Structure 1
Amino acid sequence: MKNTSSISPNNSITSLCIGKFDGVHIAHQALLLQSDVNGGVLIVGMDHTPSLTPKQEDFINLPVFRIRLEEVREMGAGEFAAFLCSRFPKLKKIIVGYDFRFGKNRSCVPQDLGEFFEVCVMDEICLDGISVHRQAILSDLVHGNLERANQMLGRCYEIKGHIIKGQGRGREECVPTLNLEVDQYALPKSGVYATMSKRRGVWYQSVSFLGHRLSSDRSFAIETHVLDVDLDGDEVGECVSVAFVAFIRSNQRFENLALLQTQIAKDIQKARELLIPSSICLQS
């Protein structure tokens, strides 16, 4: 994470979107659209763990700069404006959300910067009467409301992980899976999902499970089975992305292997039905 002294003066930035941007959801996207061709993004705040977007740069097509909240927390409007001008000498316009506050005890509002810059304040955006923000998306993911979470994000929720060695039972007893270790990301409700999985730059239709293996060793796992493609040669440590398209079912325990195999076949068929290309929005 860069601190204030690590942001070298940048003479190309004329407009700056300021906020936390975890999720880069549709409200953030509306804010980013107000930037000009020489715009940038200043991410202010502590790292969120778990996070919706540990690496916001994957979803923002503008230069991204970062500072810790502690470094500007006590600044008044004049001091904060001076800091911005020292780092972005040609800055003319700032763009912030309706709930943006800064300064000691969050006592300053965007209009306090109007003496120094053109200030654009974006209106609140709501879905189903609920304000679009990080906490709402996290709540929907945890409670299995994937459809609304994806609507708020403007894309399918995506996590990234690294391949780890699994039990070795999938290929022999059920279906082959890529077993993943995922850090930092907020995880959806345990269960089975229709997904798209990206490996080596290619997206594949898939069905994915996350949760405790109730029918075997009860350990927590994140596994994805790619449909119609046998991805042999799994490399431990290789990065794989999983985008959650639709929720299929909750996690459950099966009394024997035959019942598990039957359910997996049903899950795969359901995933095929749900993975209609025109309905899937992915980050390229």
Structure 2
Amino acid sequence: MPAPTILTDWHDLPEALRGATVALGNMDGVHLGHVAVLRAAHAARPAAPLAALTFEPHPREHFRPEDPPFRLTLLPAKAQALGAAGASIVYALPFDAALAAMPAETFFETVLAQGLGALHLACGQDFAFGHRRGGDAASLARMAEAGGIGLTVVPPVMDRQGPISSTRIRRALQDGYPERATAMLGRPWEVRGVVVHGDKLGRVLGWPTANLWLGRHLEPARGVYAAVVALADGREVKGVANIGRRPTLGGDPETRLEVHLFDFQGDLYGQEIGVRLLHFLRPDAKFAGLEELKSAIAGDAEAARAALG
């Protein structure tokens, strides 16, 4: 599936990038519910290009910048997931003070109707938009009908616990249940980032690791995971990952993700990798010294290999 075209403005779009059928929402994580909205948009006008409209930063990041990071997907990963679900265009509109202050009617008229020339819209039942979330699915339906644009309002995708949502996926990850997140996303949750230099201690201990900062990603339960690492060249390598602040080594001010790749030789510094968390093995722990830490890592690696089959 070719990568979608990412646009960060709705003004003066070339004709080829207008006239799409547009799925609306923040779509953090691009879970099964979001995919259902995309599919409904496509089904309504299959001959039209399929687009997703989302906001960057996430509105919550704009309104509450002091909140801890909570994102499941940052824009490049989100666009890739939207592309895998069929979108050829991603409108990632900058969410700033001007957009936050725009009334729902103005947003519909200037952005959706005039700017994007949308042929058809699709959204979830809980979609809200415009200044102080003044527009909802019902008011969008009235505006769309008046403007001659189709609208599909998509019911939530359910599992045994209820409607699938980004909030539930975040909670599953924070509680140490990545398998539940995988089921709701339709794929394992992945932290994507550039490999940075650590203090090379893993190498000294005999377990070299690739290090990433979590940055704006949600911090899942701290501890050890069985993981699969997606490399920049397309290869996938099994491994064992640790998310935490390294209490045995005096503690880090910022949470890091360290992953040891099984049976792997190569230099990953400066490369972007994706670490997919599949199984939670144990919580973060403080060990008496390096020898105890070393034997714990050996046990973790064995447990991860077994969990990954």
Query: What is the TM-score when the length of structure 2 is the normalising length?
Result: 0.79
Deviation at 1:99, TM superposition (A): 0.6
Tell me whether 1:214 sits opposite 2:247 in the alignment.
Answer: yes
Deviation at 1:245, TM superposition (A): 0.8
Distance 2:216 2:247 in 1: 24
Which residue among 147, 169, 177 is the counterpart of 2:201?
Answer: 169
- Give the equivalent residue in structure 1 for 2:50: 39
Which residue among 35, 56, 81 is the counterpart of 1:59?
Answer: 81
- Give the equivalent residue in structure 1 for 2:66: none
- Give the equivalent residue in structure 2 for 1:135: 167
Tell me whether 1:101 sits opposite 2:123 in the alignment.
Answer: no
Contact 1:8 1:87 (8 Å CA) reproduced: no
Distance 1:19 1:170 in 2: 42
Deviation at 1:243, TM superposition (A): 0.6
Contact 2:124 2:153 (8 Å CA) reproduced: yes
C-alpha RMSD over aligned residues: 2.4
Percent of aligned pairs sharing the same letter = 23
Which residue among 112, 124, 129 is the counterpart of 1:84?
Answer: 112
Distance 1:189 1:120 in 2: 37
Deviation at 1:256, TM superposition (A): 2.9
Tell me whether 1:13 sits opposite 2:33 in the alignment.
Answer: no
Distance 1:182 1:104 in 2: 31
- Give the equivalent residue in structure 2 for 1:281: none
Distance 1:45 1:210, change over 3 A: closer
- Give the equivalent residue in structure 2 for 1:120: 152
Contact 2:100 2:132 (8 Å CA) reproduced: no
Deviation at 1:171, TM superposition (A): 1.8
Contact 1:215 1:255 (8 Å CA) reproduced: yes
**1:152-186 per-position Cα deviation (integer Å, ceiling 9, x unaligned):** 11111101122222222212224111122332211
Distance 2:183 2:100 in 1: 33
Distance 2:284 2:22 in 1: 44
Contact 1:76 1:108 (8 Å CA) reproduced: yes
Distance 2:110 2:16 in 1: 14
Distance 1:262 1:145 in 2: 25
Which is helix-richer, 1 or 2? 2
Deviation at 1:66, TM superposition (A): 2.4
- Equivalent residue letter for 2:29: G
- Give the equivalent residue in structure 2 for 1:280: none
- Partner SS, residue 19 of structure 2: coil
Distance 1:68 1:269 in 2: 45
Distance 1:165 1:88, change over 3 A: closer
- Equivalent residue letter for 2:295: T
- Equivalent residue letter for 2:54: I
Deviation at 1:97, TM superposition (A): 0.5
- Equivalent residue letter for 2:184: M
Which residue among 218, 227, 245 is the counterpart of 2:262?
Answer: 227
- Equivalent residue letter for 1:125: V
Distance 1:171 1:208 in 2: 15
- Partner SS, residue 91 of structure 2: strand
In the alignment, structure 2 segments of 5+ residues that lack a partner are 1-6, 62-68
- Give the equivalent residue in structure 1 for 2:176: 144
- Equivalent residue letter for 2:257: I
In the alignment, structure 1 segments of 5+ residues that lack a partner are 277-284
Contact 1:163 1:179 (8 Å CA) reproduced: yes
Query: What is the TM-score when the length of structure 1 is the normalising length?
Result: 0.86
